[in-house]
Amino acid sequence: MTKFLPLSKAVADNLNNGDTVAFEGFTHLIPTAAAHEAIRQGFKDLTLVRMTPDLIYDQMIGMGMARKAIFSYAGNPGVGLLRRLRDAVENGFPHALEIEEHSHAAMANAYEAGAAGLPCAIFRGYRGAELARVNPNIKSVTCPFTGEVLAAVPSVRPDVTFIHAQKANKRGDVLVEGIIGIQKEAALAAKRAVVTVEEVVDNFDDLHPNLTVLPNWSVTAISVVPGGAHPSYAHGYYIRDNASYLEWDEIAADRDRFREWMQKNVIEKTADDFAGRVEHLRNVA
């Protein structure tokens, strides 16, 4: 049964040191508030899984929380590289980071396989690519029916997935609108799923039945955190804060400036602070 919890308790109850965890969002509805709460609680030895890891994974890696990253394309969207991730990979700062890189297609199929309870994903991919030379988890299999050689990767089945969404109803069902990336599959693939939302409504009776809804049986906990996707956007609520992404490139370039920023803007803050960060972005959403 879905529990409605303050974010601090939802994170504390569902994330553990050493977990494989996905904070999923594909440019849209990125669960920043949940990631920041995990940073404040100081978890360690995490395996971070994500299609397109961006600022929040740069922050978690820079704070020494991760031992491994499983991902497809790591970067600051529209700006450039992730400097804290690169520092960890190239210089072992703040400690060494193991990486397992895939294509977007591989990650999407791996999540789908995880959601289906399958051990691996089989798909057409990696033809002409060389990632298999550096990633031993990229294999090939021969179709027993056609003889076609296909790519295979392990399924992704996180211990816990965190996503952000627009609405939950009082039953604990979750509505996701707009670009949904792989959030639904990531939630269904996980042992536990925690969702932060902009608001809770009585029901979804007036909504189109084809909108993406996660039923309450698939959601472990829901936390109401208005603005919880900032600096990404929440369709229908607020737009993307492009200035924050540009600013991050400069902040993350310097180790001391990074730590100072994290202390002031994450460690000393709470989830309640997110609502104020998006007020100037709401009237144009």
Q: List pLDDT tens digits, range 112-147.
A: 999 999 999 999 999 988 999 999 999 999 999 999
pLDDT, tens digit (0-9, with 9 covering 90-100), for 69-105: 999 999 998 899 999 999 999 999 999 999 999 999 9
| Confidence at residue 283, expressed as pLDDT on a 0 to 100 scale | 63
Query: pLDDT exceeding 90 applies to what percent of the chain?
Result: 93
pLDDT, tens digit (0-9, with 9 covering 90-100), for 190-206: 999 999 999 999 999 98
| Confidence at residue 78, expressed as pLDDT on a 0 to 100 scale | 86
**b/e code 223-257 from CB counts within 10 Å (16+ = b):** bbbbbbbbbbbbbebbbbbeeebeebbebbeeeee
Query: What is the average pLDDT across 18-46?
Result: 97
Task: Report the chain's mean pLDDT, rounded to a whole number.
Answer: 96
Nearest alpha carbon to residue 236 among 177, 160, 162: 177
Q: Would you give the DSSP letter of residue 5?
A: -
Q: Give yes or no for residue 51 having a pLDDT over 70.
A: yes
**CA atoms of 209 and 59, how far apart (whole Å):** 37
Q: Give yes or no for residue 258 having a pLDDT over 90.
A: yes
**CA atoms of 183 and 96, how far apart (whole Å):** 28
Q: Give yes or no for residue 284 having a pLDDT over 90.
A: no
